[in-house]
Amino acid sequence: MKKKKTITVVIADDHTILRRGLQALLHEYTDLEVVSEAASGDQALEQVRLRKPDVLLLDISMPGTGGIEAAGEIRKLSPQTRVVILTMHAEPAYLTSAITAGASGYVLKSALDSDLVSAIRAAYEGKTFIDPGVAGHLVEKAFGGDAPGDNSVGEICALLSRRERQVLKLVAEGSTNQEIASEACISVKSVESYRGRLMKKLRIGSKRELVRFALEAGLLSNTPSMSDPR
């Protein structure tokens, strides 16, 4: 029997007690291994360079290089490392900045332990995990309050068909064309057509921008879909 892959993790937070607590928590899971810690953004970058972990747990507010800035540097240092933001900030602006910088997950420090572990596993598998508490704020931002103005996310999303919204959600969650075709009961060629149509309608040129739009439109749930095999 093939041995299950252990997911290597680096914890980056400027609070020692929190790092120790997280290390003790993750030690309880046999598929997770904390290989290093960091107390600043600069140390996080150095540990990623040295360790090449599967997942980096990264706080936003740290001395020196901030978490958002550090997340943007990770792809250059270690392309295979996924970033999961662990923070106290529930404001949608922080989430949007984190995803735009390349983060695969966003979890509040007040979240359940199971949510954090799920976020780590999802990130490792190439999926997107958003804390349900933050997702709720995004929905309010996109669709609540005053009537949306011209070109607002809500108005633009309303112009998409049900199938287009379904494909957008699955793409943003990390599903492959084949997986989307299976989920939506359409052909792979149709999926490719829908993706191209979405890019044109939304005037978007990359998958990262698609993810950001899906987040702001409240289309992403905290339960990731299937995604590319690693």
Residue 57 placed within a domain: yes
Of the residues 63, 97, 124, the one at which a domain ends: 124
Query: Measured between alpha carbons, how far is 196 from 211 in angstroms, rounded to an integer?
Result: 15
Query: Measured between alpha carbons, how far is 154 from 93 in angstroms, rounded to an integer?
Result: 16
- At 198 the three-state DSSP class reads helix
Return per-residue pLDDT of the chain as tens, 230 residues. Answer: 445 689 999 999 999 999 999 999 999 999 999 999 999 999 999 999 999 999 999 999 888 888 888 998 988 899 999 999 999 888 777 888 888 888 999 999 888 888 899 999 999 998 888 887 776 555 455 444 443 333 456 556 666 778 888 888 888 878 888 989 998 888 988 888 888 888 877 777 777 777 777 877 777 654 443 343 33
Q: What pLDDT digit, counting tens, does each position of 62-114 carry? A: 888 888 889 989 888 999 999 999 998 887 778 888 888 889 999 998 888 88
Q: Which domain holds residue 44?
A: 7-124
Give me 162's structure tokens. 């049900």
The residue length of the chain stands at 230
Helices 188-202, 207-216: crossing angle, 10 deg rounding: 70
Paired residues of 12 in beta bridges = 38, 58
53, with CB counted inside 10 A (0-12, 13-18, 19+), is buried
| Total domain count, the chain | 2
Of the residues 124, 150, 177, the one at which a domain ends: 124
Residues 71 and 104 both lie in one domain: yes
Q: Return the CATH number at 29.
A: 3.40.50.2300
Give me 129's structure tokens. 């995990």
Residues 102 and 176 both lie in one domain: no
Of the residues 63, 91, 124, the one at which a domain ends: 124
Beta strands 82-87 and 32-38 are unpaired
